[in-house]
C-alpha cells in the first residue's frame, strides 16, 4: 500500500485531508528507481483550485508518457496544514509518491495569475529549497516556471532557475534529454543552466543583467554569457492535431472547481481586444480538427467517467466548425446523461438553441461581456460587440425563456469618461426595458434579473495597452461608487444588481503585471510578513503588502501611475512573442483615435505572429505551398 507523508493524527485534524493523499483515478505511479528524472509539477494554490488546470493535465500526461520521467503533483498546503508542517518540520511532498519535493530533479511551478506569487515562496520554503536561485546548491531541484505570468517573469526572476516561455508541448523533451545527459556526466548546476539557455524558449534569469536609468526605468537588459540569447523566442505548437492530449485525465475524489472533462478546441483568438493579453500572446489561432476533437471527447469521457464536458477556448463561437462539433457532442452525450457546458459562446440563435437543449433555461443565466458602457469606448478597446448585437441576443434569449442575464464590464480603461461609466447602468436598464417591451405580462416566466459586475482594468505586457497608466485605489472606488449610484437612478433599479471587484488587489496586480526585478524583494518581504493565498479575498492583507513596499523602498506608483513613453524599454521586451512592439504601438494609436481593427479572419493586420507560419496566418498557406 502507498505510504502517506502525513500521519493519521494530522490528516484527521486538517480541513479536507483528501487534498494531501493523492491516489486518484488515473494518477500515475512509477518506480522511482527506474526513472532518470523526477519532476514535481506544482500549481501554487490549494488542490481544489489547481486540480483541474488543463495545462497541468497536458504536461502531466506528456511527461509521464516518457518511461525515463516520473511527473508528480504538488499543491499549496492550506494555512492549517502550513502551520503544522512548519511546527513539526515536515517537508513539502508530492502527492503520488508522497516523497519530499526536495529529492526531485525539477520543481515546475505553473504561474496562472500574479496573486499566487507569495504562494510560490511558500512552496519553496516548505520544500526546504532556498528562496533565491542564487542561494541554491547542487542538491536542490532545478526550479522552472511556466504559464501566462511568464510573459513578464521579472518580478519573480530571482526565485527561479529557469522559465519556459511558450507552450509546454514543444521543448520540454529537449530540456529533459539535456538534463539527463548532463546529470550522467556529472555536470554542475551552473553548467546545465548555461546549456539550457541555448534551447529555444528557455530563459535563464541569472544569465542576464538589467541596468536602470536614474528615473528607475530600464536602460538595458544584457546577456552575460554567449549561450544566453538577447531575445527569448516564445515556442508554440504549430499543428494542434499532432500533439498529445490528456485522454486519461486525473479524476479527483473530492469535488474540484473544474469537475468535468475539458476539451480544448483551439488556441489563440481572432478578436484582438486591446486589453486582452491572452488574445495577443497565444496568436496565431490554431484549431484542432473536428474528428480529433470527437475522438478526444469520447476517450476522455470513457476514461474518466465524468458526467460533464466543457469546451475550452478564448472564444468558442469563433471555432470554424462549432455547429457540427456541438451537435456531434450532443448526440454522443445525451444517451449517457453527460452534460455539455458551453462557456464563451456568443449569444445568437444557434447558441441559444443549443443551450436550451443542454441547460435548464429557468435556472441558467446568459452572459454578455460588453466590457465598456458606450460604443465609443468599446471601439477604443476593439471589442467587436455592438449594442445591436447585445439587444438582439437579449431579445432572443428573453423569448427563449431566459430571465437571468449577466453583464461583465471593466472600469478604468484608457480614455474612460463619466459618460462611459454611466453607460453601464444605462445599458443594463435598456436590456430590462427590452424585456418588458418584448415579453407580454402573461408570458413572463419569472422576474427579470440583470447582474452587472465590473473589474478594474489592469494593463498587461504584450497588449496595446501596455503603455497605459492605472489609477489610485481611491479613484477606482470613487468610480465604482458613481456607477453604483447610476444603477440606483434607473427606472427598473430593483431588477438590476451591480457588484465590483476589490481595488487593493487590482493595484497590486498592476505592480506585478508590469514590474521589474526590483519588485522581487517586496514579494519576499511580504511573504516573510505573512502574506499567503493573496488570491483569496478573505486572506488578502493589503496593509502587509504596503509595509513590504515601504520597507524595501519600492514605490508601487512608479509601476501603476505612469503612462509610459512610446520608446520606453520594458522589462519583458527581451521576450519575442511573435507579435511585434511596433504592431502593439500601432494598435495603441488606433485606440486613441477610436478606430477598430478587423479580426484575423476578416483581414490580416500584420501583427507579426505570421512569423510562426501556422494556424490562421496567411503565411501558413505559403509555408504549406
**Is residue 12 involved in binding another protein (CB under 8 A)?**
yes
Q: Which stretch binds another protein (CB under 8 A): 285-293, 299-307, 379-387, 572-580?
A: 299-307
The residues pairing with 37 across neighbouring beta strands, listed in sequence order, are: 69
Q: Indicate whether 360 belongs to the interface with another protein (CB under 8 A).
A: yes
Q: Which is nearer to another protein, 335 or 566 (CB)?
A: 335
Q: Among residues 67, 173, 216, 305, which is the contact residue for another protein, using CB under 8 A?
A: 305
Cα torsion 612, 614, 620, 624: sign = positive
Q: Binder to another protein among 162, 171, 178, 301 (CB under 8 A)?
A: 301
Q: Rounded to whole angstroms, how far apart are CA atoms 163 and 142?
A: 11
400 forms part of the interface with another protein (CB under 8 A): no
- Residue 329 sits in the site that holds another protein (CB under 8 A): no
- Least distance (Å) between residue 338 CB and another protein: 8
Check residue 307 for interaction with another protein (CB under 8 A): yes
Backbone angles phi, psi at 274, to 5 degrees: -80, -10
CA distance 24 to 120: 24
Q: Considering the rule CB under 8 A, would residue 212 count as an interface residue with another protein?
A: no
Q: How far is the CB of 11 from another protein (least distance, A)?
A: 6
Binding flag, residue 8, another protein (CB under 8 A):
yes
DSSP assignment of 373-414: SSHHHHHHTT----HHHHHHHHHHHHHTT--EEEEEEEES-T
246 binds another protein (CB under 8 A): no
Query: Is 213 or 255 the residue whose CB approaches another protein more closely?
Result: 255
Among all chains, which residue has been given the C-alpha cell 486589453?
Answer: 275
Is residue 401 close enough to count as binding another protein by CB under 8 A? no
**Residues in CB range of 430: below 8 A, 6 or more apart:** 387, 391
For position 31 contacting another protein by CB under 8 A, the verdict is: no
Outline where 185-246 has alpha helix (H).
189-196
Q: State yes or no: residue 22 binds another protein (CB under 8 A).
A: yes
Nearer to another protein, 24 or 177 (CB): 24
Provide the CA 282 distance to its chain's centre, in angstroms: 11
Among the listed ranges 208-216, 251-259, 281-289, 586-594, the one in contact with another protein (CB under 8 A) is 251-259
The values of phi and psi at residue 449, to 5°, are -130, 115
Any contact of residue 625 with another protein (CB under 8 A)?
Answer: no
Give the residue carrying C-alpha cell 478564448.
314
CA separation for the pair 591, 595 (Å, rounded)? 6
| 137 binds another protein per the rule CB under 8 A | no
- Position 295 contacts another protein (CB under 8 A): no
- 3-class DSSP state of 611: helix
306 sits near another protein (criterion: CB under 8 A):
yes
Estimate the crossing angle of helix 473-488 against helix 418-438, to 10 degrees: 30
Interface region with another protein, contact rule CB under 8 A, candidates 41-49, 305-313, 350-358, 560-568 = 305-313
- Least distance from C-beta 588 to another protein, angstroms? 48
Distance CA 545, CA 217 (A): 22
List 31, 137, 138, 337, residue binding another protein (CB under 8 A):
337
State the nearest-atom distance from the C-beta of 396 to another protein, in Å.
22
Candidates 258, 277, 304, 351; binder of another protein (CB under 8 A) is 304
Q: Residue 571 has which C-alpha cell? A: 522589462
Smallest distance from the beta carbon of 251 to another protein, in angstroms?
6
Q: Is 308 in the site for another protein (CB under 8 A)?
A: no
The site that binds another protein (CB under 8 A) totals a number of residues, namely 29
Binding window for another protein (CB under 8 A); candidates: 104-112, 304-312, 558-566, 590-598: 304-312
Residue/partner pairs of 361-366 with CB below 8 Å, 24 or more apart: 361/400, 361/401, 361/402, 362/401, 362/403, 362/445, 362/446, 364/402, 364/404, 365/402, 365/404, 365/405, 365/406, 365/449, 365/451, 366/393, 366/394, 366/397, 366/402, 366/404, 366/405, 366/406
Q: How far apart, in whole angstroms, are the C-alpha atoms of residue 369 and residue 392?
A: 14
The yes or no reply on residue 17 touching another protein (CB under 8 A) is yes
What's the CA gap between 99 and 211, in Å, rounded? 41
The residue among 1 and 543 lying less far from another protein, judged by its C-beta, is 1
- CA dist 77 and 126 (Å) reads 9
Could you say whether residue 90 binds another protein (CB under 8 A)?
Answer: no
**Residues lying near another protein in the complex (CB under 8 A):** 1-2, 4, 8, 11-12, 17-18, 21-25, 27, 251, 253-255, 301-307, 335-337, 360
Amino acid at each position: 500500500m502507498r505510504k502517506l507523508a502525513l500521519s493519521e493524527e494530522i490528516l484527521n485534524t486538517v480541513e479536507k485531508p483528501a487534498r494531501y493523499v493523492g491516489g486518484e483515478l488515473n494518477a500515475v505511479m512509477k518506480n522511482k528507481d527506474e526513472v532518470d528524472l523526477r519532476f514535481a509539477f506544482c500549481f501554487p494554490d490549494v488542490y481544489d483550485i489547481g486540480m483541474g488546470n488543463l495545462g497541468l493535465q497536458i504536461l502531466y500526461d506528456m511527461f509521464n508518457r516518457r518511461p525515463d520521467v516520473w511527473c508528480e503533483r504538488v499543491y499549496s498546503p492550506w494555512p492549517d496544514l502550513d502551520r503544522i508542517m512548519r511546527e513539526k518540520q515536515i517537508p513539502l511532498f508530492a502527492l503520488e509518491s508522497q516523497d519530499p519535493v526536495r529529492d526531485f530533479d525539477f520543481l515546475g511551478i505553473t504561474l496562472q495569475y500574479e496573486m499566487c506569487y507569495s504562494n510560490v515562496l511558500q512552496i519553496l520554503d516548505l520544500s526546504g529549497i532556498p528562496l533565491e536561485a542564487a542561494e541554491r546548491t547542487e542538491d536542490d531541484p532545478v526550479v522552472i516556471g511556466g504559464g501566462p505570468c511568464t510573459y513578464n517573469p521579472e518580478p519573480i526572476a530571482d526565485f527561479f532557475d529557469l522559465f519556459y516561455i511558450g507552450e509546454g508541448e514543444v521543448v520540454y523533451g529537449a530540456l529533459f534529454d539535456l538534463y539527463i545527459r548532463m546529470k550522467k556526466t556529472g555536470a554542475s548546476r551552473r553548467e546545465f543552466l548555461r546549456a539550457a539557455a541555448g534551447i529555444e524558449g528557455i530563459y535563464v534569469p541569472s544569465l542576464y543583467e538589467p541596468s536602470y536609468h536614474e528615473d528607475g526605468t530600464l536602460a538595458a537588459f544584457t546577456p552575460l554569457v554567449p549561450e544566453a540569447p538577447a531575445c527569448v523566442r516564445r515556442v508554440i505548437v504549430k499543428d494542434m492535431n499532432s500533439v498529445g492530449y490528456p485522454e486519461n485525465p486525473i479524476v479527483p475524489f473530492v469535488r474540484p472547481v473544474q469537475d468535468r472533462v475539458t476539451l480544448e478546441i483551439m488556441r489563440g483568438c481572432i478578436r484582438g481586444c486591446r486589453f486582452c493579453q491572452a488574445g495577443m500572446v497565444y496568436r496565431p489561432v490554431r484549431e484542432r480538427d473536428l474528428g480529433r476533437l470527437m475522438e478526444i471527447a469520447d476517450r476522455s469521457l470513457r476514461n474518466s467517467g465524468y458526467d460533464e464536458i466543457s469546451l475550452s477556448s478564448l472564444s468558442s463561437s469563433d471555432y470554424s466548425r462549432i455547429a457540427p462539433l456541438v451537435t456531434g457532442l450532443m448526440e454522443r452525450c445525451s444517451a449517457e446523461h453527460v452534460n455539455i457546458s458551453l462557456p464563451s459562446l456568443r449569444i445568437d440563435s444557434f447558441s441559444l438553441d443549443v443551450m436550451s437543449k443542454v441547460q435548464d433555461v429557468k435556472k441558467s443565466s446568459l452572459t454578455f461581456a460588453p466590457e465598456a458602457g458606450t460604443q465609443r469606448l468599446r471601439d477604443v478597446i476593439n471589442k467587436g460587440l455592438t449594442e445591436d448585437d447585445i439587444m438582439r441576443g437579449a431579445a432572443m434569449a428573453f423569448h427563449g425563456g431566459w430571465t437571468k442575464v449577466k453583464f461583465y464590464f471593466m472600469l478604468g480603461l484608457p480614455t474612460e469618461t463619466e459618460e462611459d461609466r454611466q453607460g453601464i447602468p444605462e445599458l443594463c436598464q435598456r436590456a430590462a426595458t427590452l424585456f418588458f417591451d418584448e415579453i407580454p405580462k402573461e408570458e413572463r416566466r419569472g422576474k427579470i434579473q440583470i447582474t452587472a459586475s465590473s473589474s478594474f482594468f489592469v494593463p498587461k505586457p504584450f497588449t496595446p495597452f501596455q503603455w497605459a497608466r492605472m489609477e489610485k485605489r481611491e479613484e477606482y472606488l470613487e468610480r465604482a461608487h458613481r456607477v453604483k449610484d447610476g444603477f440606483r437612478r434607473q427606472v427598473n433599479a430593483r431588477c438590476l444588481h451591480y457588484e465590483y471587484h476589490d481595488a487593493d488587489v487590482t493595484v497590486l496586480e498592476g505592480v506585478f503585471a508590469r514590474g521589474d526585478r526590483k519588485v522581487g524583494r517586496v514579494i519576499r518581504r511580504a511573504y516573510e510578513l505573512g502574506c499567503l493565498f493573496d488570491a483569496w479575498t478573505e486572506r488578502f492583507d493589503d496593509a502587509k503588502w504596503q509595509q513590504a513596499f515601504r520597507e524595501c523602498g519600492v514605490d508601487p506608483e512608479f509601476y501603476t501611475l505612469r503612462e509610459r513613453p512610446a520608446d520606453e524599454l520594458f522589462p519583458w521586451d527581451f521576450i519575442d512573442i511573435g507579435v511585434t512592439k511596433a504592431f502593439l504601438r500601432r494598435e495603441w494609436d488606433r485606440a486613441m483615435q477610436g478606430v477598430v481593427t478587423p479580426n484575423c479572419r476578416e483581414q490580416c493586420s500584420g501583427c507579426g505572429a505570421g512569423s510562426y507560419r501556422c494556424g490562421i496566418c496567411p503565411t501558413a498557406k505559403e509555408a504549406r505551398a
